Each structure stands twice: as structure tokens, then as C-alpha cells.
Amino acid sequence: MARPRIHLIAPAASCRPFLQYALIPSAEALIGIVQDAVGDGYEVTGNPRLIDAEEDEDLDGRQDDAERAADIEEALADDRVAALIAIRGGAWLTRIIPRIDFAVLDARTRPVALFGFSEITTLVNIVGAHANARGVYDNSPAFLQYALRHFALTRGTDETLGGQPGRVWARKMLMPEFSAFFQDAVAIIEGAGTSRPLTATLVRGELPDVLEATFVGGNLTVFLTLPASRFGALVSPAGHWLALEDYNEKPSRLDRMLAQLTLAGYWQRCDGVLLGDFHREELDCSKAVLACLDRHLPQDRNVPVLTTKQFGHVWPMSPIPLHVRTTMARTDDRAYALHWPAQDMRIV
């Protein structure tokens, strides 16, 4: 019997800088590393040409739009594929969304999961809205190259880093954390849940001790491409919590983005807001975002706001399944823990 496939996709920014930093000689070698991490129960596949693609950051990015879209569509259509995992976010994906026929998901006889974040926000929201699919907003593993360094610079201490310089610690941690990410992804699609549960703090409004919440959202910049599109109904605020994070944006730009959601009526209709990490280089912008959000939230209704540092362009990051009913339970005063039914995420 054929093994289920885990298909690596590279539809956004080039993975070449990660390969070079991690001293991985080729895309084929990267696929082999992931194969070792997940074990023989799965066949790990990926298109080496797309993984090692060139990127012109100063012009139009990548020259392989049709091939990238086809790679995603074919994997979504293949019943053998249990999960698609985006190696990196970054840029250039959102423009190829119109090229992908998501109707192939309706013809599947087995469910499929898609993991990704940042530029992959559109894919995770759209795919996760289908009955035959699960969308998991989770760190694209090549971003660990940056996330570990950022942790060392901003929150690392001699004690937490084992007495090592931050750059040394980050490089040492990279490949073990890279493999651990894929092992956790396998645990999720096998119905065992995650080893990285999310906790958050209630900073606005009131909540009961236990409540149900269904999330949409992701990277704020990229998420804003969806509401006015033909996929807008999939991310409607009605009945949903918004989970939002962003990276390398000024507060003035973030305020303008929040204003787009204000004009679209999101704050009047959403059930609540989960704010993840917002930072620009080493500057934490989370306080500024919370202050801006308070300018937009309606004063005539209780819109609860939770904050967490475990969601966004950070390490460690906790996964959030989108379009899946989750439970939030109070753990202490205004602290909450997010739980989602592990069996509901089971693919294999």
C-alpha cells in the first residue's frame, strides 16, 4: 500500500538563502532531511526546482507563477497527499491565488492539511474553509533561521542560551528545531495534537471561564487581500475570532490596515480578537498596535481582546487551526489556554 505523502511547497520567497545558511547542499538534500524527520510512514515529496528557485527582490520576484500554482493545485487534488507544508513565506504568493482551482478539494475522498504562515495566509484561510481540508497557521520552518536569532537578541539570556553567544545558539538550534517542526506537524495530522499549546492574556473586555472560538486571520498585511475578494465570505467576521500578527510594519501602517477592517465592519461583527506578535527588527510594536486597535473597536459592544507572544514571526510559535472550533479556558485570573480537538485535525 502506498504511503501517504507530505508535500513540501515553496510558492513564496526563495528558499535558497535558507539552504545556504543551513549548509544544505541542494533541494533534494532538504527533502531528505524532512524524510528523516518524519520517518518511513510517509513519503516526502517536493519540486526541487521550485524549492531552489531564483528570486529578484528588486523587480517582480519569481518567474514561475504558473508552475508554482500547478504544484499546489496538483497536491491538493492528490488523495495520497496528507499534508502540504510551505517551507517559507516572504512574498510573491498572493498574486498566484487566482491561478489555483480550489474546487479540486471537493473531489477528494480523504482530507488534506496545509501548514503555513505570513505570505501563506491566503492559502491557509481558503484551504481550511473546505470540508475536505484543514488549514493550520503555523511557522514556515525556513523562517526559523530568523526567528531563533530574533529570540536570542530580544529575550535570550546567558542562562536561556546556555551561556552561548546568540548567533552561535541560533545556528546550533536551527536544524533540531527544523526537524522538530515536522515531527509536530505529523503529530497534528495523526490526531495527537501539538506539543506547542497557545496561552494568551485577556486585555480588553470580558469572557466566561470557558468558551468556544473559531479563528480566521493570520498576517494582517496579507489577510487584507481577502475580504474584498471572491473569497471574502470564507473570512467573514460573523461567528469568528480574528487572529492577527505582522512583521516589520510601522504603527502608522498597521493603524491604516486596522482601519480597512473598520471600514469593512469587522469589529462590529467579530466575536473577538487575538493579537499575536508585532515587531520591527528588535522593536516590539505590540503596545502600539493595541493602542491603535482601541481607537477602532466599537465602544457600544464587548469585543474581547487577547494578546500572546506565541503567534506570529517568532520562536517559539504555537499553531492555530483556522475554521476549526476550538475551546478557550481560563487558567488564572485573565490568562486563557487554547485547546482544539486533536481528533478533528486527524488526516491519517
Q: What pLDDT, in 10s, does the model give residues 302-325? A: 999 999 999 999 999 999 999 999
Predicted confidence at residue 324, as pLDDT, reads 97
Across the range 324-339, mean pLDDT stands at: 97
Domains and CATH numbers, the chain: 5-189 (3.40.50.10740), 199-345 (3.50.30.60)
Assess whether pLDDT exceeds 80 at residue 115. yes
Q: What pLDDT, in 10s, does the model give residues 213-265? A: 999 999 999 999 999 999 999 999 999 999 999 999 999 999 999 999 999 99
Predicted confidence at residue 158, as pLDDT, reads 80
Nearest CA to 51 out of 100, 103, 86 is that of: 86
Across the range 317-343, mean pLDDT stands at: 96
| Average pLDDT of the chain to the nearest whole number | 96
The confidence band for 335, taking pLDDT boundaries of 50, 70 and 90, is very high
Q: What pLDDT, in 10s, does the model give residues 128-173? A: 999 999 999 999 999 999 999 999 999 888 888 988 899 999 999 9
Assess whether pLDDT exceeds 80 at residue 1. no
Predicted confidence at residue 194, as pLDDT, reads 97
| Beta strands at 112-116 and 133-137: parallel, antiparallel or unpaired | parallel
What DSSP letter does each residue of 131-190 carry, written as one string? Answer: TTEEEEE---GGGHHHHHHHHHHHT--TTTTTT--HHHHHHHHHHHHHHHHHHHHHHHHT
Q: What pLDDT, in 10s, does the model give residues 82-114? A: 999 999 999 999 999 999 999 999 999 999 999
Q: Would you say 148 and 177 are in contact if contact means Cβ atoms under 8 Å apart?
A: yes
115 DSSP β-pair partners: 85, 136
Cell numbers linked to 127: 484551504
**Is the whole model's pTM more than 0.95, yes or no?**
yes
Across the range 37-52, mean pLDDT stands at: 98
Q: What pLDDT, in 10s, does the model give residues 171-183? A: 999 999 999 999 9
Percent of the chain with pLDDT over 90: 95
Predicted confidence at residue 336, as pLDDT, reads 98
What DSSP letter does each residue of 73-120 carry, written as one string? Answer: HHHHH-TTEEEEEES--SSS-GGGGGG--GGGGGG-SS-EEEEE-GGG
Whole-number Cα distances in Å, 323 to 129, 135, 215, 246, 267: 6, 8, 6, 20, 18
Nearest CA to 17 out of 144, 117, 142, 172 is that of: 142
Percent of the chain with pLDDT over 70: 100
